Amino acid sequence: MNKVIVIGGGAAGMMAALAAADGGSKVCLYEKNEKLGKKIYITGKGRCNVTNASDIEDVFKNIVSNPKFMYSALYTLTNDATKDMFENDFKVPLKIERGNRVFPVSDKSSDVIAGLTGALKRKGVDVHLNTEVKEIITENEMVKGVKLYDGTIENAHRVIVATGGFS
């Protein structure tokens, strides 16, 4: 079975892990923090602005610089598809507010994290918390896996780096 390692358990890493699991891979996710999605807690002032429900062409018009950069991502997973995914797959009821901004009905970003972590569990993603990846192992210019800070080596067919940026 194809094995995928995801480094980083933020919004991007969790979504990547779910997509890889949907594609039939065995997925291991490594997160250095003690819990997943820590940054999501502070998003949208603690409510998490999940997406925007405007017509997708209006969404592009409101991207301040280089909207073309977002074409591929936003047409692959549109704002409408994101809403459907959160409500139906992740069981997070959503509401639409001023400016078509979409939030969880509960007004709690923690519910968004719970929705994502619940989906990871249901899809069998192997989550390792408190586990920092030290380096990516390559052989003949091919990715072979990762090395953890404790020296453990984990092999994989693919490695997805989703280690985020500075807040």
Ligand X SMILES: Cc1cc2nc3c(=O)[nH]c(=O)nc-3n(C[C@H](O)[C@H](O)[C@H](O)COP(=O)(O)OP(=O)(O)OC[C@H]3O[C@@H](n4cnc5c(N)ncnc54)[C@H](O)[C@@H]3O)c2cc1C
Whether 57 and 69 have beta carbons less than 8 Å apart is answered as: no
Whether 52 and 96 have beta carbons less than 8 Å apart is answered as: no
Give dist(CA 35, CA 87) in Å, integer. 23
Minimum separation from the CB atom of position 14 to ligand X (A): 7
Whether 79 and 59 have beta carbons less than 8 Å apart is answered as: yes
Between 118 and 164, whose beta carbon lies closer to ligand X? 164
Between 13 and 115, whose beta carbon lies closer to ligand X? 13
Minimum separation from the CB atom of position 71 to ligand X (A): 18
Between 23 and 42, whose beta carbon lies closer to ligand X? 42
Minimum separation from the CB atom of position 73 to ligand X (A): 12
Between 12 and 118, whose beta carbon lies closer to ligand X? 12
Minimum separation from the CB atom of position 88 to ligand X (A): 19
Residue ranges binding ligand X (CB under 6 A): 7-13, 30-33, 38-40, 42-44, 48-49, 132-133, 162-164, 167
Q: Are strands 101-104 and 142-148 parallel, antiparallel or unpaired?
A: unpaired
- For residue 7, give both structure tokens: 């480094």
Residue partners of 14: CB distance under 8 A and separation at least 6: 29, 36, 37, 116, 117, 120
